[in-house]
Chains A and B, each alone.
Chain A
Amino acid sequence: MSQTTLNVNGVDRVVDAQPDSALLYALRNDLELRGPKFGCGLGQCGACTVLMDGTAIRSCVTPVSAVGRARIVTLERLGTPEHPHPLQAAFIAEQAAQCGYCINGMIMQAASLLKHNPRPGREDIKKALNDNLCRCGTHMRIVRAIERAAGSLHE
């Protein structure tokens, strides 16, 4: 094993991980985070999405060695049920989840979108989320939730 320091959710954390191992497993197993999910391990579904220096990446195909000093942010960092992030509050308000397994990716992808485009239109949202898969078919609500969150940022 080899020790690597990762900056996760604002804190430097030492993990014991193979340099070529996927970031996802360091986050889930070493750091015991539950936001990022294993969905495909192929970068195809988006369930594992985290922010790296503010941009959404697929942690299941990002080697630990590629992270370096970049700042990793997971869903845990955004907010809590008591103090939710505007995106989380919007997902609750729109009841935008069924099984919810993909929702980590939806929220993190949306966080990345709103950072780069604070006033997205509906088509922008669909385009930004097009590589995030949802099997329950919660898409209509997810789009509405992101629209709501974008609106609340400008209130």
Chain B
Amino acid sequence: MSAGDTTGLDPALSRRSFLQSMGGLVVAFNLLGRATAAVAAEQSPATPTAGNLDAWLAVHPDNTATLFTGKIETGTGVQTALAQFAAEELDFPFERLDVVMGTTSLTVDQGPTYGSMTVRYAGPQIRQAAAAGRQALLDLGSRHFDVPVGELVAAQGTISVAGSPSRVITYGKLVDGKRINVEIGASGKGFDLMVAPQARAKDPATYRVVGRSLPRKDIPGKVTAQFTYVQDVRVEGMLHGRVVRPYGVGATLQSVDAKGLQDIPGFVRLVRRENFLGVVAETEWAAIQAAARLGSNLNPAGPQAGQAKWSDWNGLPKMGDLWETVRKSVAHDYPVANQGSTASAFAKASRTLKATYQTPFQMHGSIGPSCAIADVRGSGAIFWSGTQMPHDIRGDMAKLLGIPLDNVEVRWAEGAGAYGRNGLEQVVADAAIMSQAMRRPVRVQWMRWDEHGWEPKGPPLVQDLRGALDHQGRVVAWQHHVWLPTFEDTHLIAAALIGSPDISGTTGVGEPAIAYAYDFENADVAFHGEGRVGLMTSWLRSPAQFETTFAMESFIDELAAAARQDPLEFRLAHLKDPRAIAVLKAAAEAYGWDRQAASGRAVNDGKPARGRGIAWVNRDDTRVATIADVTVDPHTGRIQVGRVVVAHDCGLVINPDGLKNQIEGNVIQSLSRTLHEEVTFDTAHVTSRDWVGYPILRFEEIPDRIDIVLVNNKPDQPSTGGGEPSTCPTAAAISNAVFDAVGVRLRQTPFRPERVKVAMI
């Protein structure tokens, strides 16, 4: 049973009624491969109560078990990691434990799945719930065998009497047919939810499941086509929908010429509300054809070129003015660090350096365009979604449709990797509006150009850095000012199009995403934030910290080079954080770093030149140091990465191979963002609308090796995040390696060949 099978729950089956009929810990869901006919109930099943054991765990008569979690899987392997927490504390065979994720009627709201916070926050919640479950089973065992709990042994899904190996019973048999209504207690909510505070969890030194590289539960189904992605969900009676977005981001719909649409076999009708335009058809192909005629194409010729006529809107900034626009738009200032007196330190310094770093809009670029199914009937609605925040989207949809929250259910199924808030949330609203109009289930999948064009983007940043060295080459002053739009815009595009832009969602103002990392006498670090600037933005893997790390770790390298010092040594000389020092040293040792200043010599023989670069980050308490080798070809401007070494400290690692998979993925994705990725746009809309316009890293460009060292992976260390921190150091490590190789500083991503060649002139 894979996570995707949660969509196959019989819709007639409410969790509560099922639990009542089967008893607390005993649940045997009827899991079908595919969703059956959905009839939106006027009163959908409520979200379970966190303080009840059966909100978290079910043990079935065949001695299998299910963990229920409000967290979701997005390819990072947290489903497996959370199962390890539960199997460990429950003393249950990992292989016999399935995980149901996200579906709002089946799982507790543990907060959205983002920010590398799942293992860190949801892990302990599940650990406590499972510890309480083990306690409940021992209590049952005590009554069954009529011996005190202290004389029982729980192991591998069985309870036995110590010293009497024949007196043994499986968990499944033990709870068979009984109603166990165990209150385990809970307080707080989301990330701060505290579950079963009285339950005694195991001593981490005794862990046997946590800490092992167990194979991921989802991979066999994914490589054999037996897995159900949200894109695979089919609901009886459903129609296929496609959106037709405005030509310009803020354009208004003037008219729609429906001529010829009825001739498309399978076409059903248009759905139009204010500026929201969609098409609905019996077949996916018909929906695509109809949308194309209205103007949904890779390269639409103009606002009036399709049968949908849009106003000529040109409200985006000119691309060449992007960073100046960001700089000028700012309304909010946040000090991050302010110590000593930078002004007087700069005045007295023997040498000062300054530099500006610029990074563009980037996109999540999911390989599978966003998809959702909505079944809206009267005042009830069911959604099938791959969202990272099913419980939040449930509330958003209630607001959008104007129906009671209690009548809304979100059934979660995994989508393609999202890496942040992409279109998966947005498309639910598109489907909602179309299904509401049709009074039938409607499946909407975005086309590639919808995804590239309309997914919320990672924001552009412009950063000014200034540093001062004394005559011994020590940093005596450091100034780092960052200008950026928000990366937390949770408004729904469809809501804006129907004329209710603020019905749900908020727009942040560019909050700090930086840890003041070094120990400088005088420092002035500040953010200057704004809301939306140009394109809609949302969090993209390591939001804004990928970019701030690029600037700080490149600029510290500039200072090291100016001081003619080894870049590793220079960093260590300005650091006190022992965990930062440990990862830098571990990476250097694994790499075989000999301490010497970066060469920084210009290439004048025309031959490819090699260099090495180092960078590190503290992202939400996880420390990562990265060293990269590059070869720069001065003729082509092409940067090829050779070896990459990553030292990673996120405390106790739940699944080392799973974490390594994530680190490798972070390295390659961030390398892609460093070398290739930039959203292009004109004053009307995004123009990088496919993989040609927005290229990402390909196989022939991958590093030769990625060597990973796990640091501080000890049972007594709390686990911090692993899903994204190793994204952060890459751009700086590459930039610094390019300087070492050919003597130029690349201060603007992406480092495309033409930009590298220009820099080398």
Contact = CB atoms under 8 A, between A and B. Distances in A.
Interface of A: 1, 17-18, 21-22, 25, 28-29, 32-35, 37-42, 44-45, 47, 74-76, 78-81, 84, 88, 91-92, 95-104, 107, 125-127, 129-143
Given A104-B225, A126-B702, A127-B699, 9 more contacts: A33-B225, A38-B368, A40-B369, A76-B225, A95-B657, A98-B417, A100-B223, A135-B416, A141-B661
Interface stretch (B71-79, B204-212, B432-440): B71-79
Contacts of A35: 225
B671 to A, nearest CB: 8
Most chain B beta carbons < 10 A, residue from A32, A78, A100: A100
B700 A84 contact: no
Most chain A beta carbons < 10 A, residue from B76, B231, B298, B447: B231
21 contacts: A25-B283, A32-B234, A39-B448, A40-B448, A41-B447, A42-B691, A81-B224, A96-B219, A97-B222, A98-B665, A99-B74, A99-B416, A99-B417, A100-B219, A100-B222, A101-B366, A103-B222, A134-B367, A136-B75, A137-B664, A139-B702
B225 A137 contact: no
A81 B368 contact: no
Interface of B: 74-77, 215-216, 218-229, 231-232, 234, 265-266, 283-285, 288, 298, 365-369, 414-417, 419, 445, 447-448, 657-658, 661-662, 664-669, 672, 690-692, 696-700, 702-703, 706
Contact of B231 (A38, A125, A138): A38
Contacts of B226: 34, 80-81
Contacts of B74: 99
A103 B691 contact: no
A127 B700 contact: yes
Contact of A138 (B215, B221, B283, B661): B661
Contacts of A136: 75, 417, 665, 669
Contacts of A139: 668, 697, 699, 702
Nearest to B727: A137
Contacts of A29: 283-284
Nearest to A22: B285
B702 A100 contact: no
A74 B570 CA distance: 55
Contacts of A129: 699
B372 to A, nearest CB: 14
A78 to B, nearest CB: 7
Most chain B beta carbons < 10 A, residue from A131, A137, A141: A137
A98 to B, nearest CB: 4
Q: Is the interface of A mostly helix, strand, loop or mixed?
A: loop
Instruction: Give 9 nearest A-B pairs by CB, closest first.
Output: A99-B75, A137-B668, A100-B222, A99-B417, A137-B665, A101-B416, A35-B225, A98-B75, A81-B220
Contacts of B703: 140
Given A25-B283, A25-B284, A139-B699, A100 B218 contact: yes
B668 A45 contact: no
Contacts of A33: 225
Contacts of B215: 92, 95
Contacts of A76: 224-225
A28 B533 CA distance: 39
A23 B351 CA distance: 65
B665 A17 contact: no
Most chain B beta carbons < 10 A, residue from A22, A25, A38, A45: A38
B416 A38 contact: no
Nearest to B286: A18
A37 B220 CA distance: 17
A20 to B, nearest CB: 9
Nearest to B666: A137
A130 B702 CA distance: 10
B700 A130 contact: yes
Contacts of A98: 75-77, 417, 661-662, 665
B220 A92 contact: yes
B99 to A, nearest CB: 16
Most chain A beta carbons < 10 A, residue from B229, B661, B706: B661
Given A34-B232, A98-B76, A141 B664 contact: yes
A82 to B, nearest CB: 9
A141 B227 CA distance: 20
A17 B367 contact: no
A143 B701 CA distance: 13
B362 to A, nearest CB: 12
Contacts of B690: 40, 42, 44
Given A32-B234, A42-B448, A101-B416, A130 B225 contact: no
A25 B285 contact: yes
